[in-house]
Structure 1
Amino acid sequence: MAGWNYGDVLEAVARAHPSRTALIHGGRRMDWAEFDQRAARLAAVLEAGGLRPGDVVAEYMRNGTAYLETFFAASKAALAPMNTNYRYVEDELEQIWTDADVKAVVYDAEFRDRVAAVRERLPGVRVWLETGAPYEEALAAQEPRPHGGGRPDSLVLIYTGGTTGRPKGVMWRQDDLLSMLNAQSTRAIPDRAAPEVVAEHLAGRREIRSLIASPLMHGAGLFYALSALSGAGTVVTVPGARFSAEALLDALAEERVQGLSIVGDAFARPLLDALDAEPRRWDLSALRVIFSSGAIWSGPVKEGLLRHIPKARLVDGLGSSEASSIGSTVSVPGDVAGTASFRVSERGAVLHDDGTLATPGDGRIGRLAVSGWLPVGYLNDPAKSAEVFVEAAGRRWSVPGDLAVLEADGRIKLLGRGSSCINTGGEKVFAEEVEEAVKTYPGIVDAAVLGVPDERLGAKVVAFVVTDGREADAGGLQAHVRARLAGYKVPRRIARVDSLDRLANGKLDHRLLARRAERLWGTARA
């Protein structure tokens, strides 16, 4: 087969397991036959609205069944599903929907006012579909679209970034994305196989339930969900506008979930706190793997979770929307991987500025890179595409900007983004490295490190910390960090805050932190 796509593959799953549960969202359960039919009806709604192959469908929703129905529907009709950060406000929505030339927007009812405010600015959008009653009425009014019609060259758009600049649309061909995720799966299906071969292969496969706690609007959550669905699994999502560790643990126990997707300590630490507080409340004996990507997952938190879930493997993935699967670590009881240290994948490497690949133990700082299945580039941004997607050592690489060193044992030591590098007195300080040292101090539950201007040093290192209620002992914390890192990396100023107000994907909002630092210590360099 020349290529494959999610429309055909998910239709094959539905043929193989029509009565198996596909989606669970709170009390809502949907089997594969219903999932397939509803997506086919939605595809018909979009086509009836004037959309044609290649047109973009924006998904402006929280986690739930409609999000995955919309992705499936777009794939059936050779449309391009596109994520939309549900924290965006009117100007940001207008910017990315104009950039992508969006033709349809499927949005949650809670965002009705924001959508109303931008509709007149976006005359090219042909279909506006609100979840709830309007969505259900639209589906009921259409006959299901016939099977087939998906194309391997159809795009999946992942808009990423925005904390240090305008969001950029990463363009993945469905064929490449499917093959890349399938190659990583422990339950892979025959690569690029015809739909009938996929259905036959999956016919005897047992059900695996995966809970997606990370937002589907970000690459990590969406990719995990797509892997689960294409393997004939069940995807569980948790209702609610705010993350609740207790609600997530309830769902894990009630649904006997085997796989969980989170985003680093932002999710893992509240889970650990809840388990520490009530260790016998939840039966998590079915849980076999917790996967994290997109933010730091610290060693002490992994150790704590394994005390409660000793049968689980903790998989910490290193990648991004434009450079998935650079490396990973696996932690089990008695063998917990260190923080920000990863085993490089067959596709991953550290690339030096001179175009050569790092060798283990060379000690040189380079940029993380990955080859193999890659995005086409950034939508409408050839300059950025040429900067990130490069030719080196006889291959095409994605090099999004993370800095790292390839250690003697073959592991990657992640140092952070160049944008988070602080130059203090001529020395380079990587914020993530310092944040992890800070978070090992007793009572510190979260931390953010950045630089502020200094007349003598050019920039000085400062930190915001969140504690478990204890006062932040600046002197003790500085001594603790100094025992682990070089003196120039120790924060000169430390402020305790109630929250870092992380973004929905668990990452730091550097613009917000810069404004806080400016009020305290002068203009910040986030």
Structure 2
Amino acid sequence: MTDAAAAQSTDPLAGTNPEMNEAAVFEAVADKIPDNLLLTMDGVDYTYRQMDELANQMGHLLQAHGIEPRSHVGLYMKNSAEHMAAIVAAMKIRVAGINVNYRYTPAELVYLFNDSQCGAILVDAEFAETMAAAVPKLETTRTVFVVGGVPQVLADACAENGLTVVDVDAELPKQSAERGFEPARGDDHWIVYTGGTTGFPKGVQWHMSDYYYACLSGGNPYGDKRHSPQEVADNVSPDGGFKIVMSAPLMHGAGLFTLLTFVNLGGHLIMFRDFDAQVIVDATADYKAQLLMFVGDGMAVPITDALLEAKKTKDFSSLFMVASGGGIWSKTSRDRVVAEFPNMIIRDNFGASESGNDGEMSLNEEGEMLLPPGPRLGLIDESNKPIAPGSDEIGYIVRRGHVPVGYWNDPEKSAKTFPVVDGHRVSVLGDMGRIREDGTIVFLGRGSGCINTGGEKVFPEEVEQALKAHPAVHDALVAGAPDERYGQKVAAVVSFREGMSAEEEELTEFLRESLANYKVPKVIVDVPEIRRSPAGKADYKWAKDRISSN
């Protein structure tokens, strides 16, 4: 069934295959183009065959230490070939990988590993001290697999607390590179933990079939979905797919979505262990990449600066698309790219851990963020009733169709976020908007971040876009601050470009040109750098703390 035919059905899952699993898709693609490059990690190349074999060895290693289907394995790692192999291996042996923010403190790690009930953890050696501090309070973890050698501090902590330590570098080469695993299933699960910058992290639990269709665009983000591993492989060119420079970390949902989406197209991913805008831009030119991918303004601004400077001396003629996913890419930053590369395709993908890839977000001349009409997205009110197109009512954006099972180990939050609307389960994204007569959704911002100042609603994203349009502003976050008269007032944390600055009065006057007065920040705090996660996600809790301490 084509996507157009499926869209006419009242069943949001019409025409899809409930047995789809990315492990089987990966193997089918690897069998089709075994000698094509899949990954270049900091200059080291890996073919599809090599990555498949590495994943097989990782899967056998996990199984040799008692990791069974339906269990959970923490992935406390930076970008690396071993990290990718561990992700694919977990899917092959029907285990859920648990993504871990490698900036977490020991206390945060303890919460994440205990909440997710990890039976084992794969960890990079560089995080040995932080991991060792968390070990005594782990409740379900029995085995720690260490990549990069086993530092003594971690070995001692595990020994004192009865945990087994496995030296991956020593043990992995001893494992079979053949497959030999039981078939993966559509109802196997995968868990994506959200960042926790506005509260405790939550684990979004997906069935693998829904994960494939929602998060990986059904094997084809540019056309009709593909409904079997063989169909995916049949559509991969023997010459391979695009060369993609990917700057996001694999521990971020958008990073993994991007990686596997382009693997399913036979792509060659160029990745890096650490974020360095200059290195990323240089690689884009040196590898003659066609696509450059990142996550929101936290990465877009420094990459744009480096790209425009490098354009003076390097050849970017092969680059035809620059894209963001998992975070808002401001109009100011996008316009700078378009000004220098007028024929460039600019794509801002909209999605979430709770919904997957929900399509492309566009910006009109007024700076409004728009989601195109379609059968998978809609709007509901606070009573979970659909809002009709053409209404002026602000509501919550929802995704229909392939949605998660729920939040791991949290039925109460699951019921609120994944309710039944018109007979079908939906995912309530927490994002708010209005729906026009033609079904286009005007994105307003996160409901949790909405500022109520004297009864007027202000969405931080709109004010942040306006602030970033000022030539001296490098980055900005907007949050509410207590106000005796209005309950809340709009406040901002701003960092300036190197060698530039602006007085608060100048910024205020600049903002009044595009914003109503009640939306203009009444407090602006100047900071050296805006705090974001390794994936570029905004840390609004930090922003509120800086505002309150000023």
Q: TM-score range by the shorter chain?
A: over 0.9
Q: Distance in 2 between matches of 1:324 and 1:113?
A: 34
> Deviations for 1:279-324, whole angstroms, at most 9, x for unmatched residues?
3233222222222122221112112112333443111112111022
1:140 and 2:173 are equivalent in the alignment? yes
Q: Do the aligned partners of residues 502 and 141 (structure 1) sit closer, same or farther apart at CA in structure 2, a change above 3 Å counting?
A: same
Which residue number corresponds to residue 113 of structure 1? 129
Shift of 1:135: 2.1
Pick from 62, 71, 77: which aligns with 1:46?
A: 62
Q: Are residue 495 (structure 1) and residue 525 (structure 2) matched?
A: yes
Shift of the 73–18 alpha-carbon distance from structure 1 to 2, 3 Å rule, reads same
Q: Which residue of 1 aligns with 2:138?
A: 122
* Alpha-carbon contact 1:424-1:461 (below 8 Å) kept: yes
- Whether contact under 8 Å (1:188, 1:231) holds in the other structure is no
Residue 414 of structure 1: SS of its match in structure 2?
Answer: strand
Aligned-residue sequence identity (percent) comes to 35
1:85-121: CA deviation from partner (whole Å, max 9, x where unpaired): 1111111111111111112211111111112222233
Cα separation, partners in 2 of 1:289 and 1:199, compared to 1, 3 Å: same
Determine whether 1:436 maps to 2:471: no
1:336: how far off?
A: 7.3
Question: Deviations for 1:94-153, whole angstroms, at most 9, x for unmatched residues?
Answer: 111111111221111111111222223325323311112532321112123534522222
* CA–CA distance in structure 1, aligned partners of residues 273 and 382 of structure 2: 45
Which residue matches 2:506?
476
Cα displacement (A) at 1:201: 4.3
Match of 1:219 in 2: 253
Structure 1's 178 and 205: CA in aligned 2 closer, same or farther, altered over 3 A? farther
1:417 maps to 2:446: yes
- Structure 2 counterpart SS, 1:87: coil
* CA shift in 2, pair 1:145/1:275, >3 Å: closer
Is 1:174 matched with 2:203? no
The answer as to whether partners of 2:110 and 2:137 remain within 8 angstroms in 1 is: yes
CA distance 1:282–1:407, shift in 2 (3 Å): farther
Superimposed CA distance per residue, residues 462-518 of structure 1 (whole angstroms, 9 cap, x where no aligned partner): 212122233323223222222222211111122222111222222221221222112
Match of 1:251? Answer: 283
Q: Does 1:284 align with 2:316?
A: yes
Cα separation, 2, equivalents of 1:92 and 1:465: 27
| 1:504 alignment partner, one of 521, 530, 534 | 534
Mapped partners of 2:272, 2:265: distance in 1: 21
Q: Corresponding residue for 1:34?
A: 50
1:200 positional shift? 4.2
Q: Is 2:102 the partner of 1:86?
A: yes
Which residue is equivalent to 1:157?
191
Distance of 1:361 and 1:103 partners within structure 2: 50
Query: Could you tell me which residue of structure 1 aligns to residue 544 of structure 2?
Result: 514
Question: Which stretch of the first structure deviates more once superposed, 372-381 or 464-473?
Answer: 464-473
Q: Classify the secondary structure of the residue corresponding to 2:429.
A: coil
Whichever residue aligns with residue 514 of structure 1, its letter is K
Matching residue of 2:236: 202
What is the match of residue 22 of structure 1? 38
User: Contact 1:60–1:108 at 8 Å: present in 2 too?
Assistant: yes
- Aligned-pair CA distance for 1:416: 1.7
8 Å Cα contact 1:23-1:236 kept in structure 2: yes
362, 376, 398: which one aligns with 1:347: 376
Match of 2:307 in 1: 275
Deviation for aligned residue 1:432: 1.4
Q: Tell me the SS of whatever aligns to 1:291.
A: strand
Contact in 1 for aligned 2:232/2:264 (Cα 8 Å): no
Secondary structure in 1 aligned to 2:475? strand
Counterpart secondary structure, 1:68: helix
C-alpha contact 2:71 2:95 (8 A) present in aligned 1: yes
For 2:441, the aligned partner's letter is I
Contact 1:171 1:379 in 2 (8 A): yes
Alignment partner of 1:42: what SS?
Answer: helix
Moved more, 34-43 or 134-143: 134-143
1:226-283 Cα offsets, whole Å, 9 max, x none, are: 111122222211233xx32110011111222222221112111112222333432332
Q: Is the 2:406–2:414 contact (alpha carbons within 8 Å) kept by the matching residues of 1?
A: yes
| Distance in 2 separating the partners of 1:443 and 1:408 | 39
| CA deviation after TM superposition for structure 1 residue 414, in Å | 2.0
Match of 2:4 in 1: none
Q: Tell me how far apart the structure 2 counterparts of residues 78 and 183 of structure 1 sit (CA, whole Å).
A: 19
- The 2-side partners of 1:177 and 1:404 are apart by 25
Report the counterpart of residue 327 of structure 2 in structure 1: 295
Return the offset for 1:340.
2.9
2: CA distance, partners of 1:211 / 1:337: 31
Note closer, same or farther for the CA distance 1:199–1:517 as it changes in structure 2 (3 Å cut): closer
Q: Structure 1 stretches of 5 or more lacking a match?
A: 521-526
C-alpha distance in structure 1 between counterparts of 2:418 and 2:536, whole Å: 26
Q: 1:186 to 1:379 in 2, by over 3 A?
A: closer
Instruction: Report the secondary structure of 1:260's partner residue.
Output: strand
How many residue pairs were aligned?
514
Paired residues for 1:89-104 under 5 Å: 89-104=105-120
Give the drift of 1:35: 0.8
- CA positional deviation for 1:372: 1.0
Distance (whole Å) between structure 2 residues aligned to residue 442 and residue 249 of structure 1: 22
Structure 2, unpaired ranges of 5+: 1-16, 150-166
Aligned to 1:307: 339
1:363 CA drift (Å): 1.2
Distance 2:341 2:256 in 1: 25
Which stretch has the larger CA shift, 368-377 or 407-416?
A: 407-416
Shift of residue 412, structure 1, vs aligned partner: 2.3
TM-score, normalised via structure 2 length? 0.88
Match of residue 524 from structure 1: none
Cross-structure match for 1:329: 361
Cα distance change, pair 508–182 in 1 and its aligned pair in 2 (3 A): closer
DSSP 3-state at the match of 1:102: coil
Structure 1 residues 197 and 267: CA distance shift in structure 2, 3 A: closer
Q: Secondary structure at 2:535's aligned position in 1?
A: coil
Shift of 1:202: 3.2
Contact 1:74–1:81 (8 Å) recurs in 2:
yes
Task: Give the residue type in structure 2 aligned to 1:229.
Answer: V
| Native 8 Å contact 1:403 1:416 kept in 2 | yes
Q: 1:386 to 1:276 in 2, by over 3 A?
A: same
Greater mean alpha carbon deviation, residues 125-134 or residues 374-383: 125-134
CA contact (8 A) 1:296 1:339 kept: no
Are the aligned partners of 1:287 and 1:309 in contact in 2 as well (CA < 8 Å)? Answer: no
